[in-house]
Amino acid sequence: MTKTFLALLLLSTAIPAAAQDLGQKPPETVPVETTEEEGLSGSVSFEGNLEDLGIAIPAFATDRNAPTAANSAGTAALGRELAQVVFNDLRNNGLFKPTGPGSLPVPSYPEITNPAWATWTSRGSEMLVKGYVRGGEDGRLTVGCYLYDVALQKELARAGWVVPPVDWRRAAHKCADLVYSRLSGESPFFDSRIAYIAETGPKDNRVKRLAIMDSDGANHRFITNGRATALTPRYSPDYRKLLYLSYVDGNPRIYSYDIGTGRQTLITQSRNPTFAPRWSPDGRWVLYSMAVNGNTDIYRVSAEGGASTRLTDTPGIDIGGSFSPDGRQIVFESDRSGGQQCYVMNADGSNQRRISFGGGRCATPEWSPRGDQIAFTNASTFNISVMSPSGGGVRTLTNGWQDEAPTWAPNGRVIQFFRTERNSGRTGLYQIDLTGKNERRLATPADGSDPAWGPILP
Amino acid sequence: MNRRILVTALLAGTAALSACKKEPPASLPPEPQPTMTSTPGDNMSGGIAQPGSQAHFEQGVNGQNVIYFETDRYNVDSTDAAALQTQAQYLGQYPQVSITIEGHADERGTREYNLALGERRANAAKNYLTSLGVAASRISVVSYGKERPIALGSNEQAWAQNRRAVSVVVN
């Protein structure tokens, strides 16, 4: 019995590393086709706080109830689901004062472009979102989204998209993005995905799996099966690859997982351990940190592979790195001064200078996609904080027992991070607005850590 | 991870083999089955561990196969030095033995930094052993950062136990 077990173990260690820990590959990302998009100019009638802005989101209408792979009850039922996703996006993020399809009349198809204003003025909503869904000959869905100012009885924005049935939720997220952008003046963020580490099991034997999901937690998938510890994922800007750390060969190494082929490769052919993978904004470069005889430095390598360039060379731990949106600078973490602090350098490693002098330890800096802020972990108090790229204007946003690893929403207005509970070691994904408002926990099937929010989907 | 399971399996196998060598008289009732569930070291207490096993190593170094570090530090202090000297003596006596040093950090640090810190601690222990004449080729290192705590509390005492470098026999 023991011998058989041993033989099995020996056999299993002989299997190529890459094959051991990967589950079924997720579907590839298909770009969404936009049929029409129009944001009308002109002002909005509402002048109060945006969180008081009432928005009615009735069920999306359909021209005829056609069968669709997206909903077993057909396009009429799907229209209701679409409106519900738009409603949840806005409500769960504390945006505006939305009313969902559950408590609203269902508009007819002709009413989508010709609202019955009396119906909506009597309900007291300042804004109205209407949409339609049509099944096409090829099985694809056409979804339209209209935003109206009820007081002005005027259309504010409209857009339409053609999506395969499997991507129906993306059309709803795009509608939520249209509404949010038009009313707030901010860039969109709902049509995006998150990679993170799903955690289960006791504190001294946690199973850590690479997982992905939509920005609202839907379409959740595990990428690895949990046999090897997986940590710190990062989506490539085009969503075609995931970088992450895996112990699949027994040592911590960064792998590049290709979603199209379902295969993964080492980011660098070295026997040394590698940590902290990061993409450049254009997806052409990868930063990783490598320990050589206990000394960790940051390296840059082409996303296609090849020779690496070492960017830091001080004794101690230089780790992480996050590019400015223009790709010219990198903010990173180093303990060269004695404790963890944040530094900025040029993308070629020149001109390294410390920017954090706030008193606490500065760790895991992440440059905002807007460029104007850097989020980081205060590793003395374990709170998520932000500062300007020159290190000024430090603001603390969270106060959990241990909060770490901030990641930005595609528009730089929301930050996700993970929170660890004292004693139990249980973890959860959280997010908070840059303003410090609307902190909430994201629903995940298991505990979660190391969130990495990707850009707007192609 | 695999390696550790493998070591456990090898040890369990060794235990089974050594149990078989004892030939019990036919008249006696059957021996109780050897337990396979205990951790290496425990099941050998009082017995004779095989040279080259983890249990034998831990016996040989009087349990000093683990050294501990201060918060954020990786230097080898006098207590650590004494433990590593004992390990070096054992490794001098059993030249066929190779070890992996596992570096760990406590939970009060960020994940990536702690991976690098664990690596640094394991290397500090390795460098000390090589300075005592142990061939570097016999010592591999692996960092688990804060991912594998041994003490489960969230207090100073638990964190002190978790900031450690553990020497584990690999063959």
**Do the chains contact at B110 and A377, CB–CB below 8 Å?**
yes
Q: Taking the mean position of all CA atoms in its chain, how far away is CA A347?
A: 24
For residues A252-264, give the mean pLDDT: 94
**Do the chains contact at B143 and A420, CB–CB below 8 Å?**
no
A1 inside domain: no
Task: Please state, in angstroms and rounded to a whole number, the distance separating the CA atoms of residues A134 and A112.
Answer: 13
Q: Taking the mean position of all CA atoms in its chain, how far away is CA B41?
A: 10
pLDDT at B32 over 60: no
A16 inside domain: no
Closest-CA residue of chain A to B118 = A294
On whether both A323 and A231 belong to a single domain, the answer is yes
On whether both A105 and A170 belong to a single domain, the answer is yes
On whether both A172 and A307 belong to a single domain, the answer is no
Provide the phi-psi class of A306: left if phi over 0, else alpha when psi is between -120 and 50, else beta: left
For residues B95-100, give the mean pLDDT: 97
A73 inside domain: yes
On whether both A196 and A177 belong to a single domain, the answer is no
Suggest the residue from A278, A317, A422 to mutate for an interface test with chain B (most B CBs closer than 10 A).
A317
pLDDT at B37 over 80: no
Binding-face residues of B in 64-123 toward A, CB within 8 A? 72, 74, 107-113, 115-117, 119-123
A95 inside domain: yes
**Do the chains contact at B150 and A204, CB–CB below 8 Å?**
yes
| CATH code of A140's domain | 3.40.50.10070
Q: Which of A341, A419, A434, A429 is nearest to A386 (CA)?
A: A434
Burial class of residue A152 (count of CB atoms within 10 Å of its CB; 0-12, 13-18, 19+): middle
- Helix, strand, or coil here: B138? helix
pLDDT band at residue B28, thresholds of 50, 70 and 90?
A: very low
pLDDT in tens, A282-307: 999 999 999 999 999 999 999 999 99
Domain end point (choices A184, A201, A232) = A184
Kindly report the nearest CA distance between residue B62 and chain A, in angstroms. Answer: 25
- Helix, strand, or coil here: A209? strand
For residues A8-33, give the mean pLDDT: 64
For residue A255, what pLDDT is reported? 97
On whether both A264 and A312 belong to a single domain, the answer is yes
Which one-letter DSSP state was computed for residue A352?
A: -
Instruction: State phi, psi for A89 to the nearest 5 degrees.
Output: -55, -50
On whether both A173 and A197 belong to a single domain, the answer is no
What stretch of H or E contains B111? helix B111-131
On whether both A278 and A257 belong to a single domain, the answer is yes
A142 inside domain: yes
A26 inside domain: no
Task: Please state, in angstroms and rounded to a whole number, the distance separating the CA atoms of residues A306 and A287.
Answer: 13
For residues A253-278, give the mean pLDDT: 95
Claim: this prediction has a pTM higher than 0.95: no
How many other CB atoms are found less than 10 A from the CB of residue A23?
Answer: 15
Overall domain count for chain A: 2
A343 inside domain: yes
Mean pLDDT of chain B: 82
Burial class of residue A260 (count of CB atoms within 10 Å of its CB; 0-12, 13-18, 19+): exposed
What stretch of H or E contains B162? helix B156-162
Domain end point (choices A167, A184, A201) = A184
pLDDT in tens, A407-417: 999 999 999 99
Provide the residue range defining the domain that includes A70: 33-184
A409 inside domain: yes
pLDDT in tens, A314-325: 999 999 999 999
On whether both A244 and A133 belong to a single domain, the answer is no
Task: Please state, in angstroms and rounded to a whole number, the distance separating the CA atoms of residues B4 and B169.
Answer: 9
pLDDT at B91 over 90: yes
Domain end point (choices A136, A152, A184) = A184
| CATH code of A357's domain | 2.120.10.30
pLDDT in tens, B140-163: 999 999 999 999 999 999 999 999
